[in-house]
Structure formats: C-alpha cells, structure tokens
A and B are shown apart, each in its own frame.
Chain A
Amino acid sequence: MSDNVILRINNLHVSIEDTAILNGIDLEIKAGEVHALMGRNGSGKSTLANVLMGHPTYEITDGTIEFLGEDLTEMEPWERARAGVFLSFQYPQAVPGLQVGNFLRKSVQAIRGENAPGARDFRTELNTAMSELNVDKQFLGRYVNDGFSGGEKKRFEILQLLLNQPRLAVLDETDSGLDIDALQTVAKGINASTTSESGCLIITHYQRILDHVKPSHVHIMIDGKIVKTGGADLALEVEAKGYEWLSAEND
C-alpha cells in the first residue's frame, strides 16, 4: 500500500436483516482527494456512510475496509472517530439538554486527544470556524440540534468537521435542503477542511454542490455497486442525462 492511501474498500458486501444492501464496493481514497458518490435514493450511499462509521445495524458479510492501513471494521465507532474518521449526518440527532459549547469542547478533546487545543486556543479555533460558517455565538448556548433548522443542522455538522480535523470526512447529503447561501457557506467549510493530508467522500443526489467543491473522482452507485467512475465531468453528465443510461449499461 502506498503511504498516502487514506481509505481502501475491497469487495464490500453489507446486509441488514438478511437483505443485501451493498453488493461488492471497491473504493480507494488517497490523501488530498475529494470523491463524490452519486446515486438515486435507496442505492446504498447512506448505508456505506454508516458502515464506515460502524453503525451497529449493518452487517458486513464480505470484504474489507482499511483506514490508514488499519482494519476499520475492528474499531468501535468512537475509536474510528478518534482515529480520524468523521461522518456528517444527513439527519443529525437532536440531544435536548446537551449544550453545543460544552459538547464541542469535549468532542474536540476526545477526538484530537493530546493534540487538542487548550482552552484559549480552542476558543480562537471555534471563533474562526464559526465566523467562516456565519454561525452566531448564541448558537453555543443552544442544545445540540434541538430546534435547529435544516440549514443550521448542516452548518453545525460542518462546524464539527472544521474543529475535529479528521483524516477522512464522509459527508452524507450535507447539501440536501440548503438554500443557495447556505450551500455556498457549507461548501466553503468543506473546502477549508480538505487538506493534502486528508480525504473526503461527498455523498450527494445533486451535482450542484460540486460547483463549489471540486471532486477529483466521481462514482455512480446503483443497487449497492459502484457502476461507473470518472472525473468531475461525470457528475455533469449524470445531471444532464439522469441515471437510466447507467442502469441500462449496468444491466
């Protein structure tokens, strides 16, 4: 394995209650790369995101997932987070009673461990990230995702992405439900988090976020398999032609 491979998935098969969802995924993401994964509803995109994060509902029936050369499937979800995997949820959970400010501070401490900033530096980082995402300071006193609008939830996910500084960011339909301004803000955050040391997997229905975040690779998923891979142009082609022609090719 070359040193700059962040994520390597080989022949991944996943089921939920004996129903196969993923049917042999192969994917490799190297440092500095941004991959976009597109597909219709129910094609298995979110399943892949959840499996990467270790959601207990899904059963891996075959294949391997390596993260920085380690077997990711042997790790608990929090171990994956601490190792450098981040999932931006399509529908982030509300936790009434858990204050955003405290949650962020503790989460950064847990994930970045010895490299976590001290109190003063954390405040500086937090202020910078919030300013980048146009997030008001009053946000810190609210409860995690409790009563947040759709746009606020997505901004909060990206705020965590910026603060946690993962090696692999998996963004599950982070662009869904955003207006133009929010989309640009979120895209700015994604770009700011992408470095030469990290990789990014953007799961999306639409090409429009890719106007703001340039992917190095685009993959099309149908029925739990990646059926086509290409460059940024492939997203435009799918946007123009839909998925039918790929389904036909796949058949």
Chain B
Amino acid sequence: MAYSDLEVPDRADHLWRYTPWHRIHPGGEISDVPEAGGAVIDLHSLDGSTEPGGVSLEVATAEDLERLSVNGEEDISTQFIKALADGNAIVLRVERKAKPTQPVLLNIECQGDIAALHLLLDIGEMAELQLITRITGDAGWAGILRQGIFGNACNVNDIVINHMGEGRLLRTDGIHLGRDAQVKCGAVGSGASRCKADLRYTMDQVGATLKVNGSILSLDGMHNDHHVEILHLAPQTYSRLDWHSACAGKSRTIGTGMLRIEAGAKGADAGQLFHNLLLSKDAEADSIPELEVSENDVVGCGHGTANGPVDDDQMFYLKTRGFSEGEARDMLVAAFLNATLTDMGSEVVHEHLLNILTRDLAADL
C-alpha cells in the first residue's frame, strides 16, 4: 500500500500514543512526500584493516525488493521512507556461511534537510557476523528503513547506534528470523533531538532465538520513543527484551513493547523488561510492555518495568570507595547503560561500544 493511500494513525493506537505522526513527519503538508537526499554509506571492518569478507553493499534489484521487503505493508513509517527513497534501496548482502574475522562497521551519514535510506539486509544461511551500523550526520530529518531476512542457522549480532546531530530521526526495522537463527539486536542511542523507532522482529521459523537490548542516553530536551515488537509465530522460539534508558535534563523517553505469541508457537519463551534511570526531576520516562498470548503451551512469558532515580545505597557504596558525588553518579549511569551494552556482542564489540558510551557520557553529563 502506498503512503498516499494510508490514513494518518490515530493517537489511540499503542504505537502512536507518545509521538504522533505529525511530530515525526519532516514537516510541510503531511500528505506530501518531500524531496529527500540520500545518505552516504560505507562499509568496512571495525579495525579498518580489511574488506569484510563475504559482505557487500549492492543496489537492490526488483527481486531483492520483492523478497526482502518484509513487514510494514500497511505501516505509515515504512511506506513513507520507501516513498522518500523513491523505490530505491541498497542491499547489505552476507554470503551463505560467511564469517568475517572482524566485526563489520556500516556508517550511514545523513546530510541535508531530509535524508532517507531504504536498506535491505540479506543475511545468508549459517553466516556468522557482527554488524555495527552507525547513523551520523547533521541532516534536519532522517528516515532509515531496514528490512530483511536473517537466514537459517545464522549467528548475528546486529547493533544500531544513533549518533545523529540535532536533527530528527525516524527509524523502522522489519526483520524476519530464519530457522534456528541466533540473533542479538542492540540499539544504542545518544543522538537526534527527536527519535521515533519502530523495531519489529518476526520469528516464523522454528528454533529461532532473539535478544533485543537497548542502551539509550537521553539528554537535554531529547524525545526518544522506541517501540519494539516481537512476534512468535513458530514453535520453540525464544526472545528476551532488556531495555535501559537513562534520562537527564528535560528529556522524555518512551519504551513500548509488544510481545505476541500466536497460536501454534508451542514452547515459546519470551520476556521483556524496561528500566528507566531518572537523572533529573524534569526528566520523564514511560514504559509500556504489552503481551498478547494466544498459545497455551508456552515455557514462559513475562514482562516488567522499573523507573527510579540513582540508588542511594549504590551511591554511598561508591563514595566509600573514594568516588566523589559526581564521579559516583557518572559511574552508576555508565554501569546502568553498560548492563545492556555488554550483551550486544563479543568482547571486541563491547569494548567499541563502551568507548563510545564513555565519550558520550564525558561530553554530555
């Protein structure tokens, strides 16, 4: 369905309650599709030393668009970014059984008033890959749509870092997991003045495992709205969502989760947790985890949420170990965000992410 055929979503909708479409639309007539520039993308190994073996970027063919454009047929964000990209897309293709020795870094630099990218992910069967996607740039508005298939028995750590400047970011993911796929998806965010992310994962093949981790640093007047939807369609599928947001200044963070276990997904095991660390009295955080379970034979299905300020007892403990008020607070914020960061990838990836987090905290807190 084309963007022009879709109605503006109602704020009563779970997904659009906190950031209605007109607040994340780039502006102007809401029915128009403005002209958008592309994003500059480059791909290399994390250490920059080698071309990542078995991984390539290509212009998408019609067959790619047909096969990999999963989810989002009636989703306004998906169709809007597709319209901005004017039917063009780039494929990140990972060959069957590819196993790059180094984590792979995909830089997406968004420039100009409006930037848009439709990225298709084609991860081959049994591929083993750690992919770090870093979104940067000073675009006034950016839309990044990622859709694709993580093939059977692949083992993928897929991390997206939002390092945009002051602009707004609309991020939409639609990912299908293959049979026995082992996937970790991480979202790291400390950029963009306003971010609306709609991340959807579908497990329609038996035996898939998915872990989604969020580590979001929200500052000043930022507005960060992340929606994570995990759909269990096949038996023996496993998912965990662990989302940590640290909220400072007058920022607002929203985390909404939708966990669906459809009839037939026997033996499914799913859980979601949202934690918000409130660092100022003006910061605001909302977390709404939701469950829809239509299968009786499940291993487990749970959800939870916790909001609170920095823990006084933890503060005292760190102070007794020689850290001043500010140092102890910064360490606790870093620890809070690191708790989910650490599960996003290997030791090398974690170190890379931790360095970014440390720099961001040093600059911003």
Known contacts A81-B321, A82-B322; A56 and B316 CB within 8 A of each other: yes
B320 in contact with A78 (CB, 8 Å): yes
Known contacts A97-B342, A110-B327; A77 and B335 CB within 8 A of each other: no
A53 in contact with B320 (CB, 8 Å): yes
Most chain A CB atoms below 10 A, which of B311, B324, B335: B335
A95 in contact with B314 (CB, 8 Å): yes
Q: A96 contacts the other chain (Cβ, under 8 Å)?
A: yes
Q: Mark B325-364, 1 if CB is under 8 A from A, else 0.
A: 1011001101111110110000000000000000000000
Considering the complex, which residues of chain A in the window 132-184 have a beta carbon less than 8 Å from any beta carbon of chain B?
Answer: 143, 160, 164
Q: B16 contacts the other chain (Cβ, under 8 Å)?
A: no
Known contacts A93-B313, A97-B337, A97-B342; A78 and B331 CB within 8 A of each other: no
- Which of B323, B335, B339 interacts with A78 by CB under 8 Å? B323
Q: Min CB distance, B342 to chain A, in Å?
A: 7
Q: A111 contacts the other chain (Cβ, under 8 Å)?
A: yes
Q: How far is the CA of A107 from the CA of B322 in the complex (A)?
A: 6
Closest to B341 in A: A97
- Which of B313, B319, B339, B341 interacts with A77 by CB under 8 Å? B319
Q: Min CB distance, B310 to chain A, in Å?
A: 11
Q: How far is the CA of A158 from the CA of B332 in the complex (A)?
A: 22
Q: A117 contacts the other chain (Cβ, under 8 Å)?
A: no
Closest to B332 in A: A95
A106 in contact with B323 (CB, 8 Å): yes
A93 in contact with B314 (CB, 8 Å): yes
B339 in contact with A97 (CB, 8 Å): yes
Q: Min CB distance, A10 to chain B, in Å?
A: 23
Q: How far is the CA of A143 from the CA of B339 in the complex (A)?
A: 9
Q: Number of A residues whose C-beta is below 8 Å from B?
A: 28
Residues of chain B contacted by A76 (CB below 8 angstroms): 319, 324-325
Closest to A56 in B: B316
Q: Number of B residues whose C-beta is below 8 Å from A?
A: 26
Q: How far is the CA of A106 from the CA of B335 in the complex (A)?
A: 14
Q: How far is the CA of A82 from the CA of B337 in the complex (A)?
A: 27
Q: A227 contacts the other chain (Cβ, under 8 Å)?
A: no
Closest to A170 in B: B320
B320 in contact with A77 (CB, 8 Å): yes
Q: A243 contacts the other chain (Cβ, under 8 Å)?
A: no
Q: A98 contacts the other chain (Cβ, under 8 Å)?
A: yes
Q: How far is the CA of A106 from the CA of B323 in the complex (A)?
A: 9
Q: B318 contacts the other chain (Cβ, under 8 Å)?
A: yes
Q: Min CB distance, B158 to chain A, in Å?
A: 21
Q: Mark A53-86, 1 if CB is under 8 A from B, else 0.
A: 1111000000000000000000011101110001
- Which of B316, B320, B335 interacts with A97 by CB under 8 Å? B335
- Which of B320, B338, B341 interacts with A81 by CB under 8 Å? B320
Residues of chain B contacted by A95 (CB below 8 angstroms): 314, 317-318, 331-332, 335
A160 in contact with B321 (CB, 8 Å): yes
Q: A89 contacts the other chain (Cβ, under 8 Å)?
A: yes
Q: Min CB distance, A231 to chain B, in Å?
A: 30
Q: Min CB distance, B275 to chain A, in Å?
A: 10
Residues of chain B contacted by A92 (CB below 8 angstroms): 317
Known contacts A95-B335, A97-B335, A98-B335; A78 and B317 CB within 8 A of each other: no
Q: A87 contacts the other chain (Cβ, under 8 Å)?
A: yes
Q: Min CB distance, A48 to chain B, in Å?
A: 15
17 other A-B residue contacts (CB within 8 Å) besides A55-B316, A78-B324: A54-B319, A76-B319, A76-B324, A76-B325, A77-B316, A78-B319, A78-B322, A78-B325, A87-B320, A92-B317, A95-B314, A97-B334, A97-B336, A98-B331, A98-B338, A107-B321, A107-B323
Closest 8 CB pairs of A and B: A110-B322, A97-B335, A97-B339, A98-B335, A111-B322, A93-B317, A77-B319, A97-B338
Enumerate chain A interface residues (CB-CB to B < 8 A): 53-56, 76-78, 80-82, 86-87, 89, 92-93, 95-99, 103, 106-107, 110-111, 143, 160, 164
List 14 A–B pairs whose Cβ atoms lie within 8 Å, in order of A's numbering.
A54-B319, A56-B312, A77-B320, A78-B323, A78-B328, A81-B319, A93-B311, A97-B335, A97-B336, A99-B338, A103-B321, A106-B331, A107-B323, A164-B322
Enumerate chain B interface residues (CB-CB to A < 8 A): 311-314, 316-325, 327-328, 331-332, 334-339, 341-342
